[in-house]
Amino acid sequence: METASPIQALQSTLAVTSIEDQADFKTTREFLSKFTDLEVLRHWANHPLPNAPKLLEEAVGVAPDLEWLTQDPKNKIIDQIEGKITQIGWTVFSMSILKECHTPAEFPALIKKAAIYYVRVIENCHLRAKEHFLKDTEINPLYCPTRFVSEAEAKTILSEVLDNQVTADGRKRPVVLIGHGWNFDEQKLNQQWGFKFKNLDSILFKVRSLGRVAAMAGVIPWPNRDLGEGLLKLDEMLRGFQIDLTNMWRHDGANDALYQMTLAFLIVLFPILYPGTTAGFPTDASIAGLSINDIWTDVASNKDNAAPVDKGFARFCFYCDATDDHDGTDESPCPSKESDTILCKLCANAIGKKNKRYRDRAHGHQTHRCTLQWSHQCRKFPEVIKPADWSLDDKRALTRGMALADDAMIGAVFRKNIIGEGPIDWTVVADEEKRLEFEATQYSSGEEKELDEDEE
């Protein structure tokens, strides 16, 4: 695949570089805020914005896609593992490549100039969706290799992609983020990883919904909210361009990143690609005799030559945590799993008749990756403990602590529910007057009386 040389330089330069002129970024960000998403994107497609800052000439486009575990709502464990981030895919390209498309024949080359990357989060890579339309998506990136990285590495990588794109001479380049349903992705990153986008100075503009951009371009109608209508989903828009999604492995992070970027290009360049269509999807969506599927097939043919992320591992087995050895799949099975040497202590020590089915499944997965634990029947405890008054999370924590013989975990639950929250705030206790006020809040009235009698 032909890859724009500036992007190759961007991905290999990991050192943080200072922004030469912070004011330029702020001024340009404020300038773009006055225009619609479509107007901003078409600035680089030979429809320049009036009096546009020169900084836009160096802009880099990043089309990210975040994937997380989704479960059947009827699943009892949904509250514990639902929504855990499992994959991130993204494409990177110079925004100026849009200027290179003057005819439909030049469009396929634009898609090939984007660099595509894909990582799976090691801590959550065992959380694989089982619904038929999602099954095995994470192991089928069609356009680039996979890298397994830790959650901390994933955060670092995403920060570098969005806030550390640099030129060959070390100057930071502005970034245009092109997402779809990006509000959900950004919320997920903030809630789970504490990812703060306001700290990423390089991002000049965010496209949050390609449905909105398509409506602005007249490709799809604006929905009637009074009738409960919504913007078209990604699949619906892709099919509108006569794209066959069979075996395209939607909901794989890298695949969806390419699909979203392609859709953005189709909308932005619509007047050039389909000059005979003034509104709605084209009756013939082929471009220079090629379907979009044909263009993607050409990109996929170069998968083995695509440069991967320079962190993490090419192979990882979540059964035994082996790296760069085997995958733990049918094609590359895990020896430890096959030999039944992997044992989950939580399932093996799940007490009671109702937990027998989990004890029978104790082999084959590791304790720290056990998803069955959230379905275990909590053990019974002496009535003096009164666990009936505890939260389900605390009951589960005590059950896990007992199964693992983890005194610290058990002690933390008892301290919270029986003794009371701690630790003592010694900065308060050091002040005698505040100490007395503090102690008065720590005892019941009966205990206070007892102390008074002792003092007498």
pLDDT digits (tens, 9 = 90+) for 383-396: 666 666 788 888 88
**Is the domain of 229 the same as that of 85?**
yes
pLDDT digits (tens, 9 = 90+) for 265-291: 999 999 999 999 999 999 999 999 999
DSSP 377-403: PPPP--GGG-GGGS-HHHHHHHHHHHH
Contact criterion met (CB below 8 Å) for 272 and 278: no
In a domain, 335, yes or no: no
- Average pLDDT (405-421) is 81
**Is the domain of 222 the same as that of 350?**
no
Range of the domain at 229: 5-305
Which of 250-264, 380-394, 395-409, 413-427 is predicted with the least confidence, judged by mean pLDDT?
Answer: 413-427
In a domain, 310, yes or no: no
Contact criterion met (CB below 8 Å) for 255 and 142: yes
**Is the domain of 350 the same as that of 260?**
no
pLDDT confidence tier of residue 330, bands split at 50, 70 and 90: confident
DSSP state of 93: E
Quote the number of domains for the chain. Answer: 3
**Is the domain of 403 the same as that of 437?**
no
Please tell me the number of Cα atoms within 13 Å of 441 on its side-chain side.
11
What values do phi and psi take at 195, rounded to 5? -75, 120
pLDDT in the model for residue 80: 66
Q: Is 53 helix (H, G, I), strand (E, B) or coil?
A: coil
In a domain, 338, yes or no: no
Which of 251, 277, 305 is a domain's end point? 305
**Is the domain of 432 the same as that of 290?**
no
Query: In CATH, what number is assigned to the domain containing residue 95?
Result: 3.30.420.10
**Is the domain of 358 the same as that of 449?**
no
**Is the domain of 252 the same as that of 376?**
no
**Is the domain of 39 the same as that of 173?**
yes
In a domain, 336, yes or no: no
pLDDT digits (tens, 9 = 90+) for 18-69: 545 688 999 999 999 999 999 999 999 999 999 999 999 999 999 999 999 8
- CA distances to 327, 329, 341, 349 from 336, rounded to whole Å, are 12, 12, 5, 20
In a domain, 12, yes or no: yes
**Is the domain of 409 the same as that of 446?**
no
* Cα dihedral value 413, 414, 415, 421, nearest 10: 60
Which of 305, 333, 364 is a domain's end point? 305
In a domain, 325, yes or no: no
For the chain, the average pLDDT equals 86
Tokens of 185: 């992705």
Which of 305, 335, 358 is a domain's end point? 305
Indicate the helix (H) or strand (E) that contains 207.
Answer: strand 203-207
Contact criterion met (CB below 8 Å) for 147 and 314: yes
Q: Is 241 helix (H, G, I), strand (E, B) or coil?
A: coil
**Is the domain of 256 the same as that of 379?**
no
**Is the domain of 138 the same as that of 19?**
yes
Residue 366, pLDDT above cutoff 90: yes
Tell me the percentage of the chain whose pLDDT exceeds 90: 61
In a domain, 51, yes or no: yes
Q: Which residue intervals of 253-385 are DSSP H helices? A: 253-268, 270-273, 292-300, 335-338, 345-348, 356-359
In a domain, 197, yes or no: yes
DSSP state of 220: S
pLDDT digits (tens, 9 = 90+) for 135-165: 889 999 999 999 999 999 999 999 999 999 9
**Is the domain of 292 the same as that of 395?**
no
pLDDT in the model for residue 437: 65
Sign of dihedral through CA atoms 52, 55, 61, 65? negative
